[in-house]
């Protein structure tokens, strides 16, 4: 329970940092991100309980994942969009102005999860309280990968929906818009003086919000439907812990982001390829995961 309280305190401090800037102005970007985090965590917790994970264990893990995710999200953004901070490096620490990469958040979250499972297993062997630790933090190092896979899969029940909500923070911050468009759903962008532009732009935040929401809702519907099927016919629900659900989402997200980034007006480019740094990374991630999933499918079929 102590770790649960610490986790909620951490969430509060996170919300406070983003919602109130140095001038005590309410920040809709931070408020939206905060709501997204809470919704995502509660959805994942609900599914974690169904798979037998203790509440205290869940929140202990969440604390480490959130720390790693926040740090990773900011670092990735600063590295890939370094040109935004060349003239004023102090802007790097002003997270309330926006600039949190989903990709970096995922990578940082995985690192935080890995560190927590490794640290818990290591400390357990040095104490007499080994048998009192949560089940998923015990075992040999070889089982660490299985624990990471299980938590990664469970995160998919909250992560896509949290992303969908969080992307609206980009709208409130007047960021993540695309190239000019004549489409009826194009949005205007306010200048620093508060003057709305006459041009309309692709609402990239909206595209990504809708596409991630589709995946998130789809996972819940599919799993709920398959849980009612005979055990032998369950595909998605029974694969939680294999990593396939998590990597399927990462492949899906990489695919949609790769194409949406063609509409981004400003991005750090890779030479004369016409591709941004993030696009190259996304393409590589997508190819690796697709090959891995195909290999898993072929192996399962042969067995």
Query: How confident is the model over 250-272, as pLDDT tens digits?
Result: 999 999 999 999 998 877 788 77
pTM of the shown model: 0.78
Residue 32 contacts residue 166 (beta carbons within 8 Å): yes
Report which DSSP code applies to 93.
G
Tell me the pLDDT tens digit for each residue of 153-202. 999 999 999 999 999 988 888 877 888 889 888 888 876 544 456 688 89
Phi, psi for residue 284 in degrees, rounded to 5: -65, -45
Angle at 207 between CA 107 and CA 212, to 5 degrees: 45
More confident call, 234 vs 169: 169
Residue 249 contacts residue 156 (beta carbons within 8 Å): yes
Beta bridge partners of 196: 190
Both structure tokens of 130: 């080994």
State the CB neighbour count (10 A cutoff) for residue 239.
Answer: 16
26 pLDDT band, cuts 50/70/90, is low
Both structure tokens of 81: 């969009």
With a cut of 80, say whether residue 96 has pLDDT above it: no
Domains of the chain, by residue range, sit at 2-183+198-302
């Amino acid at each position: 329970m102590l770790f649960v309280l610490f986790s909620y305190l951490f969430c509060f401090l996170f919300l406070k940092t983003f919602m109130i800037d140095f001038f005590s102005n309410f920040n809709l970007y931070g408020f939206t991100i905060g709501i997204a985090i809470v919704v995502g965590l509660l959805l994942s917790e609900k599914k974690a309980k169904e798979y037998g994970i203790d509440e205290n264990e869940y929140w202990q893990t969440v604390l480490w994942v959130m720390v790693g995710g926040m740090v990773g999200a900011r670092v990735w953004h600063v590295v890939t969009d370094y040109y935004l901070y060349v003239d004023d490096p102090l802007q790097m620490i002003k997270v309330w102005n926006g600039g949190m990469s989903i990709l970096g958040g995922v990578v940082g979250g995985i690192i935080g999860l890995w560190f927590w499972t490794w640290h818990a297993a290591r400390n357990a062997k040095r104490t007499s309280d080994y048998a009192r630790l949560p089940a998923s933090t015990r075992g040999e190092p070889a089982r660490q990968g299985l624990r990471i896979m299980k938590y990664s899969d469970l995160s998919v029940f909250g992560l896509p929906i949290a992303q969908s909500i969080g992307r609206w923070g980009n709208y409130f911050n007047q960021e993540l818009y695309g190239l000019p468009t004549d489409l009826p759903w194009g949005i205007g962008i306010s200048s620093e003086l508060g003057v709305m532009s006459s041009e309309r732009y692709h609402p990239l935040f909206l595209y990504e919000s809708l596409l991630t929401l589709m995946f998130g809702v789809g996972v819940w519907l599919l799993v709920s439907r398959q849980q009612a099927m005979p055990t032998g016919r369950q595909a998605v629900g029974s694969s939680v812990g294999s990593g396939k659900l998590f990597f399927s989402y990462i492949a899906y997200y990489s695919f949609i982001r790769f194409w949406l980034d063609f509409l981004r007006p400003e991005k750090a480019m890779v030479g004369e390829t016409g591709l941004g740094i993030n696009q190259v990374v996304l393409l590589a991630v997508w190819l690796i995961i697709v090959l891995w999933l195909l290999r898993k499918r072929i192996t399962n079929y042969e067995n």
